[in-house]
């Protein structure tokens, strides 16, 4: 005798259905064939506890007989999950494993992340997330977040109704500049997903309060478009008015439906990212992570590195390799802290004067006013007008200007050569070398190269993690200068204070708090960033300070202002642990 469900799956000419297949709606409306199953909870990643459902819960939720006998604890499950995770040998396999765990049981997934941040971050975030983005169409298992394509123009507000939760945070990309990997079309979705995993693991957002979004406006990546498995809109990427009006419809729909939600712009190419930020920064709660988040995290590292070098911030001279969204974001914020440092001496210098201490090098060489050709708007404030000759290589620029710091945000791997690094070491007692491009292959140099070619003298940070380096019996821990230290706390502060906007001072506050998380002892060891393992407590501190700054500027929309912001933030924070579940009605 076949069960009703099995019967419903019989062949189209099954006699039991009178020779006709039952339509889906018939199946759903027939209580014998379809009971909205209590077992769904085993497939609901938010509530699922798997083998950790207690006997009582199993009885009440109709799960008895559907799980093996033993009732496990989250810790038991964690041991198994960690063993499974470690059994995979390649990073991409580990990534796929973690993604499927996230789809099955978010509590277990986040507990695994939180307790093993140093080990799991390189998988869910850079560098492996980069590989996952390039292969999204190949490794695709299931959907997460929202994909909104140009063809949805005119109905985006209605599409948002398909999302069943109220998000506190959206990370959105159009996939046009994914890490240093270029245009990855809809594969770029891996980045919002990865960033949001960090919002949860690193700051304590509740998973259901996060929404990754990919705005699909086509791709210019021909290799992807020629691939029959590619999942996105197969057409040339749209820019110009059509792009802005599409983005506007999305952003206004978000503001209308979820007015308190924070929108983080991520990995939009520099032909649109500056303009998007300028257009919306005062219209809704938003920020651009590559410009502002990166600016803040590198300012923290720079302030601490300046202490290590013994040279005050205002006296540094910096060469940037790369003159795109990240470099300009970092340069702007460093110019601001240089000015603040100078103000301490009672000298009223302008931010523009401090910009003179920076030299930006792009794909054509040193950015100058005189070099001819089009000068993109974001480079104008840094274009030099004081050069006698055009310098077309980084080496020439380093030779001529003898910087105290070299910051790589070019997306070009292996460009800080032995010659350049040796020169930095010849010119400085403690040169600052930040090779910040992601993922690892795009890093301007490795930690080992930086240490070796500067004879152990450099203060180093990279965008993606590098292993410890041993130099003359000393173990050096390379710092990770990645916006991951900033955006979780900055976002948390902006959300809990229900801020109207994200102001420049809120961003600057975040970077100062992060810098202060590094102790004198850490600095003595040459560490300029705190350990990633403490990111949750750092995020709480950053969030509290950011919220206070929001209040100070009159941006906070809370009707009653908390006395103790740290406690207020902590009350919001999600801990990945199982709650006692009652009966099924509780889950509706």
Question: Binding site residues for a divalent metal cation, as ranges?
Answer: 266-267, 290
Instruction: Give kind and range of the element (H or E) at residue 432.
Output: strand 432-435
How far, in Å, CA of 469 to CA of 286, rounded? Answer: 38
Q: Which range touches Mg ion (CB under 5 A), out of 221-229, 264-272, 276-284, 416-424?
A: 264-272
DSSP H helical segments within 310-393, as ranges? 325-343, 351-355
Could you say which of ligand NDP, ligand PYR, Mg ion, none residue 368 binds, taking C-beta under 5 to 8 angstroms by partner kind? none
Concatenating the DSSP letter of every residue in 451-499 gives HHHTTT--EEEESS----EEETTEEE--EE--GGGTHHHHHHHHHHTTB
Selection from ligand NDP, ligand PYR, Mg ion, none that 323 binds (CB < 5 to 8 A by kind) is ligand NDP
CA atoms of 434 and 299, how far apart (whole Å): 12
Q: Which residues, 94 to 133, sit near Mg ion by CB under 5 A?
A: none
Site membership for Mg ion, residue 267 (CB under 5 A): yes
d(CA 262, CA 170): 6
Angle, helices 117-124 vs 91-104, to 10°: value is 100
Question: Is 430 considered catalytic here?
Answer: no
434 DSSP β-pair partners: 407, 461
Segment contacting Mg ion by CB under 5 A, of 129-137, 261-269, 383-391, 508-516: 261-269
Q: How many residues bind Mg ion (CB under 5 A)?
A: 2
Instruction: Let me know: does 126 contact 464? Beta carbons within 8 Å.
Output: yes
Residues listed for the chain: 588
Q: What residue number has its CB nearest to ligand PYR? A: 438
Q: In this structure, are residues 17 and 23 in contact, taking their beta carbons and an 8 Å threshold? A: no
Smallest gap from residue 264 Cβ to ligand NDP (A): 13
Cis status of the peptide bond prior to 235, with omega within 30 of 0: no
Residue 38 falls in the annotated catalytic set: no
Beta bridge partners of 408: 321, 435
The item of Mg ion, ligand NDP, ligand PYR, none sharing an interface with residue 324, based on CB under 5 to 8 Å by kind, is ligand NDP
Both tokens assigned to 318: 């910096």
Tokens of 218: 């086509």
CB of 289 to ligand NDP, least distance (A): 7
Residues numbered 44 to 73 that lie near Mg ion (CB under 5 A) are none
Residue 174 contact partner, candidates ligand NDP, ligand PYR, Mg ion, none, CB within 5 to 8 A by sort of partner: none
Q: Among residues 107 and 480, whose Cβ is nearest to Mg ion? A: 480
Q: In angstroms, give the least distance from the CB of 178 to ligand PYR.
A: 7
For ligand NDP, the binding residues (CB under 6 A) are: 177, 179-180, 270, 290, 294, 297, 321-327, 361-364, 409-412, 436-438, 442, 463, 481-483
Selecting among 47, 95, 110, 125, the annotated active-site residue is 125
Stretch that binds Mg ion, among 93-101, 274-282, 283-291, 415-423 (CB under 5 A): 283-291
Name which of 112 and 436 has its Cβ closer to Mg ion.
436
Binding residues for (S)-malate: 177, 438, 482
> What is d(CA 538, CA 569) in angstroms, rounded to the nearest whole number?
12
| Identity of the residue, 295 or 313, whose beta carbon is nearer to ligand PYR in the bound complex | 295
Q: Could you list the residues known to form a binding site, using ranges.
A: 177, 266-267, 290, 438, 482
Quick check: 527 binds Mg ion (CB under 5 A)?
A: no
Question: What is the DSSP track for 204-222?
Answer: ---GGGEEEEEEE-----H
Q: What kind and span of H or E run contains 149?
A: strand 146-149
Name the minimum Å distance from CB 111 to ligand NDP.
26
CA gap 36, 127 in Å, rounded: 41
d(CA 486, CA 488): 6
Nearest-angstrom CA–CA distance, 482 and 130 = 14
DSSP for 77-104?
Answer: HHHHHHHHHHH--SHHHHHHHHHHHHHH
Q: Which does 412 bind (CB under 5 to 8 A by kind): ligand NDP, ligand PYR, Mg ion, none?
A: ligand NDP
Distance CA 44, CA 7 (A): 26
Which of ligand NDP, ligand PYR, Mg ion, none has residue 262 at its interface (CB below 5 to 8 Å by kind)? none
Q: Which residue is nearest to ligand NDP (CB)?
A: 324
Angle at 374 between CA 368 and CA 378, to 5 degrees: 70
Q: Which of 423, 413, 418, 478 is nearest to 452 (CA)?
A: 418
Q: Are 220 and 269 in contact (CB under 8 A)?
A: no
Residues 6 or more apart whose Cβ sits within 8 Å of residue 158: none
Torsion, Cα 70 74 80 84, to 10 degrees, reads 130
Q: What is the DSSP letter of 566?
A: H
Please name which of 256, 255, 259, 324 lies closest in space to residue 295, comparing C-alpha atoms: 324
From the list Mg ion, ligand PYR, ligand NDP, none, partner contacted by residue 119 (C-beta under 5 to 8 A by kind): none
| Catalytic residue chosen out of the listed positions 49, 60, 94, 195 | 195
112 vs 484, which CB is nearer to ligand NDP? 484
Closest CA relative to residue 584, chosen from 18, 51, 59, 106: 59
181 close to 134: Cβ distance less than 8 angstroms: yes
List residues binding ligand PYR (CB under 6 A): 126, 179, 267, 289-290, 438, 463, 482-483
Q: How far is the CB of 484 from ligand PYR (least distance, A)?
A: 7
Does 290 sit near Mg ion (CB under 5 A)? yes
Instruction: Return the active site residues.
Output: 125, 195
* Contact residues for Mg ion, defined by CB under 5 A: 267, 290
């Amino acid at each position: 005798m076949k069960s009703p469900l099995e019967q419903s799956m019989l062949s189209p000419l099954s006699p039991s259905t009178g020779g006709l297949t039952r339509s889906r709606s018939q199946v759903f409306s027939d209580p014998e064939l379809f009971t909205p199953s209590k077992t769904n909870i085993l497939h609901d990643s938010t509530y699922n506890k798997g083998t950790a459902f207690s006997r009582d819960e199993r009885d009440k939720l109709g799960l008895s007989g559907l799980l093996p006998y033993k009732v496990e604890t989250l810790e038991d499950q964690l041991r198994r999950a960690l063993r499974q995770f470690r059994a995979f040998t390649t990073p991409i396999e580990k990534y796929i494993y973690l993604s499927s765990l996230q789809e099955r049981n978010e509590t277990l997934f986040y507990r695994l992340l939180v307790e093993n941040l140093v080990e799991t971050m390189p998988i869910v975030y850079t560098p492996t997330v980069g590989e996952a983005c390039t292969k999204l169409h190949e490794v695709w298992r299931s959907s997460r977040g929202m994909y909104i394509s140009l063809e949805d123009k005119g109905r985006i507000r209605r599409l948002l109704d398909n999302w069943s939760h109220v998000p506190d945070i959206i990370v959105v990309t159009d996939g046009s500049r994914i890490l240093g990997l270029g245009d990855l079309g809809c594969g770029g979705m891996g980045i919002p997903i990865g960033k949001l995993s960090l919002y949860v693991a690193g700051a304590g957002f509740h998973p259901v309060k996060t929404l990754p979004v990919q705005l699909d406006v086509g791709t210019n990546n021909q290799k992807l478009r020629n691939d029959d498995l590619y999942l996105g809109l197969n057409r040339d990427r749209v820019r110009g008015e059509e792009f802005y009006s599409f983005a506007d419809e999305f952003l206004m729909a978000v503001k209308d439906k979820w007015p308190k939600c924070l929108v983080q712009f991520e990995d939009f190419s520099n032909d649109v990212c500056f303009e998007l930020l300028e257009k919306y920064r005062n219209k809704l709660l938003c920020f651009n992570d590559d410009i502002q988040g990166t600016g803040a995290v590198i300012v923290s590292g720079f302030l601490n590195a300046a202490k290590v070098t013994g040279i005050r911030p205002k006296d540094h001279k910096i060469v940037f390799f790369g003159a795109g969204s990240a470099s300009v974001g970092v340069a702007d914020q460093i110019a601001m802290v240089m000015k603040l440092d100078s103000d301490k001496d009672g000298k009223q210098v302008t931010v523009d004067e401090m910009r003179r201490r920076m030299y930006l090098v792009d794909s054509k060489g040193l950015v100058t006013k005189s070099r001819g050709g089009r000068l993109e708007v974001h480079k104008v404030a840094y274009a030099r007008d004081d050069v006698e000759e055009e310098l077309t290589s980084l080496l020439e620029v380093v030779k001529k200007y003898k910087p105290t710091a070299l910051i790589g945000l070019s997306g070009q791997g292996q460009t800080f050569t032995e010659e350049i690094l040796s020169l930095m070491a010849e010119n400085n007692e403690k040169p600052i070398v930040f090779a910040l491009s992601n993922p690892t292959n795009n890093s301007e140099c490795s930690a080992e190269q930086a240490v070796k070619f500067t004879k152990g003298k450099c203060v180093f940070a990279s965008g993606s993690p590098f292993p410890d380096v041993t130099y003359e019996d000393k173990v050096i821990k390379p710092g990770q200068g990645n916006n991951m230290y900033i955006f979780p706390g900055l976002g948390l502060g902006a959300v809990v204070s229900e801020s109207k906007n994200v102001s420049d001072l809120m961003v600057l506050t975040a970077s100062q708090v992060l810098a202060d998380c590094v102790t004198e002892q850490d600095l003595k060891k040459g560490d300029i960033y705190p350990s990633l393992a403490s990111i949750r407590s750092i995020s709480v501190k950053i969030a509290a300070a950011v919220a206070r700054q929001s209040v100070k500027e009159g941006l906070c929309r809370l009707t009653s202002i908390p006395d103790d912001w740290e406690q207020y933030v902590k009350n919001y924070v999600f801990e990945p642990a199982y709650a006692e579940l009652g009966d099924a009605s509780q889950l509706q």
